[in-house]
Structure 1
Amino acid sequence: MLDALLSFELLRNTFYTGLLVGFIAPLLGTFIVVRRLSLIADGLSHVTLAGIAFGLFMQKKYTLLFLTPFHTGIIFSIIGAIVIENLRSVYKAFQEIAIPITLSLGVGLSVVFIALADGINTDIFAYLFGSVAAVSRSDLYLILVTTGLVLLLIIFLYKELFALSFDEEFATVSGMRAKVIHYLFIIMTALVISASIRIVGVLLVSALMTLPVATAIRVAKSFKQTIIYSIIYGEVAVIVGLVSGYYLEIPPGGTIVITSAILLGLTLLVKKWYLAYIYKG
């Protein structure tokens, strides 16, 4: 694969993008899991699929070269994130209902636009399950910018995000601008999800934001350790998944998720054996 990376720009773009996604998805995923919003990735990924299908439909009907399905997917994802946050404000006693509402709308729009765009084709298939050769240089630059924005958000608002994740009521009462931070966070989440779809695919993107975090929680002793271990597990899963996908000639999304699940299973098993040994001793 090394020779192929040196020879083909598309593979280099995919590999670099995978490394970036393996970094930012578990990074934001840690805050999402702690806030018990794990299903938000599923909701936004389906809204993103609706945007992608809309982009394919527009390309077919109007041949819009300046607006790719990837870009329309990002736009739809951001709109979906704002809708979720607004619905969470409306249904204060049942905030979790905002996610299935948005997910259902995303699925419905996806079905309509996919049908209008001549049904399931190779383009849609690549977006559903990821592709080892789907990332252009402009996509890589866009994902690089997204990574920079996520890092800036975490660096400058880490204390606020930490407080909102563990005790939202106290953070709000203490004078923190909770609503603004919520919107910034969920928009960044939408950007990360739409960026990850190129590599992992719509149907599997939530796994990259939750499985590494679930694995890290079992071994970490602090929140910062959870973030670090999540990123390590995420990067290992992406690298192994991309290499496996390349040699097996299958979409990398499945191999990335399977690798993440194997890492989780091994961690749980080793942890169980370790605790049994400690208690026995």
Structure 2
Amino acid sequence: MMGPLSLDFMRTAYVVGIVVGIVAPLVGLLLVERRMSLIGDGLGHLSFAGVGLGLVLGVEPVLSALVVTIVGAIVIEWLRSSKLAAGDRALALLFYSGLAGGVVLISSAGQFNASINSYLFGSILTIDDRDLIVTLVLAAVIALVVLVLWRPLTGVAIDEEGAWVTGLPVRALNVLVAVLAAVTVAVSIRTVGVLLIGALMVLPVMAAGPLARSLRTTAALASALGALVAATGLTIAYYNNLAPGGTIVLTAAALYAAVLVRIAMRRA
């Protein structure tokens, strides 16, 4: 029986999965520290509307999803910071309107049955060279921005009021985090799908947190775990003929469960 690395499409899937697994937790950490873990799910639902808009207009769905998600992220940050809507209400708006809008737009484009599963749950095994290049470029941009602006981004995430006192451009940094989350969601659509991207952003961070002693160590460990669960999930999916996106997320969930068991055993 041939191994997964003997197949071109599997090698591409491993590269994309590992890259997304590294980058997604970097942004997820900023969301977790801001107590906004679910925003990845909300933006994922909103990106589904962007996919539908792309199919209706005849443009690249991932590109339209990127634009719609960035605009939505900025709007949601504005609603939160201006106190026009509480964070949970703003997220509810994203959840429901995004998914419903995507269903309506995709069905109006006449591609509901053909397209819905690949965008909802990912289609990492069908990624071509163009998708690979776009993913690598956007992932590199995300990682570079987070690394260069690490101190101010984490400063605002941990203590927003303290960041105001020290003179940091809090509003601009909050908008930047929202945009980074939106780009991460768009990059990850083909990997795990719009319904599961939030899990890939947050679960490795949740698993790394109890094992690390600093925020920087948490970020490094979360990225390593993200890459690990992506590679492991793809391998399990290949040998058992399972959906790759769901298997990757279940692997991440199992890892977090193992960390919780380890902590419980230490306390016993």
TM-score greater than 0.5 by the shorter chain: yes
Cα distance between partner residues in 2 of 1:123 and 1:251: 15
1:249 and 2:241 aligned: yes
1:148 and 2:147 aligned: no
Cα pair 2:124 2:192 within 8 Å, conserved: no
Residues 153-164 of structure 1: pairs in structure 2 closer than 5 A: 153-164=145-156
Select between 239-248 and 115-124 the one with higher mean Cα deviation. Answer: 115-124
Matching residue of 1:222:
214
Cα distance between partner residues in 1 of 2:200 and 2:209: 15
Kindly tell me: are residues 258 and 13 of structure 1, through their superposed partners in 2, closer, same or farther at Cα, counting changes over 3 Å?
same
How far does residue 235 in structure 1 lie from its aligned partner after superposition?
Answer: 1.3
1:32 and 2:26 aligned: no
Q: Over aligned residues, Cα RMSD in angstroms?
A: 1.9
How far does residue 222 in structure 1 lie from its aligned partner after superposition?
Answer: 1.5
Residues 1-281 of structure 1: pairs in structure 2 closer than 5 A: 4-8=4-8, 10-59=9-58, 67-91=59-83, 94-118=86-110, 120-276=112-268
Cα distance between partner residues in 2 of 1:196 and 1:2: 27
Kindly tell me: are residues 7 and 236 of structure 1, through their superposed partners in 2, closer, same or farther at Cα, counting changes over 3 Å?
closer
Kindly tell me: are residues 93 and 195 of structure 1, through their superposed partners in 2, closer, same or farther at Cα, counting changes over 3 Å?
closer
- Aligned residue pairs, count: 268
What SS does structure 2 have at the residue aligned with 1:133? helix
How far does residue 211 in structure 1 lie from its aligned partner after superposition?
Answer: 1.0
The letter for the 2-side match of 1:204 is L
How far does residue 2 in structure 1 lie from its aligned partner after superposition?
Answer: 6.8
Question: Where does the alignment leave 5 or more consecutive residues of structure 1 unmatched?
Answer: 60-66, 277-281
Cα distance between partner residues in 1 of 2:40 and 2:101: 17
The letter for the 2-side match of 1:232 is A
The letter for the 1-side match of 2:55 is L
How far does residue 54 in structure 1 lie from its aligned partner after superposition?
Answer: 1.8
Percent identical pairs in the alignment equals 37
Cα distance between partner residues in 2 of 1:257 and 1:244: 12
Kindly tell me: are residues 101 and 127 of structure 1, through their superposed partners in 2, closer, same or farther at Cα, counting changes over 3 Å?
same
Kindly tell me: are residues 22 and 95 of structure 1, through their superposed partners in 2, closer, same or farther at Cα, counting changes over 3 Å?
same
Kindly tell me: are residues 271 and 101 of structure 1, through their superposed partners in 2, closer, same or farther at Cα, counting changes over 3 Å?
same
TM-score, with structure 2 as normaliser:
0.93
Cα pair 1:34 1:166 within 8 Å, conserved: yes
What SS does structure 1 have at the residue aligned with 2:196? helix
How far does residue 205 in structure 1 lie from its aligned partner after superposition?
Answer: 0.8
Cα distance between partner residues in 2 of 1:272 and 1:245: 30
The letter for the 2-side match of 1:21 is V
Select between 128-137 and 197-206 the one with higher mean Cα deviation. Answer: 128-137
Cα distance between partner residues in 2 of 1:103 and 1:255: 23
TM-score, with structure 1 as normaliser:
0.89
Cα distance between partner residues in 2 of 1:37 and 1:55: 28
How far does residue 92 in structure 1 lie from its aligned partner after superposition?
Answer: 6.2
